[in-house]
Amino acid sequence: MITFELGKTKPSELLAQELAWTQGTDARNKDKIPCPYHSQYATSWCMNGAILKCRAWYFWSEEHAKIQVEFGWVKFNDSKGRTQEEVVAKLQEFGL
């Protein structure tokens, strides 16, 4: 079961949970069907979906916005061969 508390759970903490990470869409339900990141049925998220779910933009600095533009959350998350551990580590590197 995924644990999440709005305003307290960081995207890296959300995605570090077993089976909580996905690629190719912001979120998926338990049947692996794409759904909105904010859906009550979402059980896994991509890097961008986790950032949106956790409302991490409230904590963003100008530097975070620059990273998003230059780095590209979606491109990184959806790169072939990418792992959940790499995505979590990158979020932690950015303090998210």
Domain span holding position 25 = 11-90
Q: CA-CA distances (angstroms) from residue 43 to 13, 25, 27, 47, 85?
A: 14, 12, 7, 13, 17
What tens digit of pLDDT does each residue of 19-69 get? 999 999 999 999 999 999 999 999 999 998 998 888 766 556 676 667 777
Predicted local distance difference test score (pLDDT) of residue 26: 93
Domain for residue 59, yes or no?
Answer: yes
Contact 39, 28 (CB under 8 A): no
Q: What is the pTM of this model?
A: 0.85
Predicted local distance difference test score (pLDDT) of residue 95: 84
| pLDDT-based confidence at residue 14 (cuts at 50, 70, 90) | very high
- Which residue in this structure is represented by tokens 């009550």? 40
Domain for residue 17, yes or no?
Answer: yes
| pLDDT-based confidence at residue 7 (cuts at 50, 70, 90) | confident
Predicted local distance difference test score (pLDDT) of residue 29: 97
Domain for residue 3, yes or no?
Answer: no
Domain count across the chain: 1
Predicted local distance difference test score (pLDDT) of residue 56: 65
Domain for residue 4, yes or no?
Answer: no
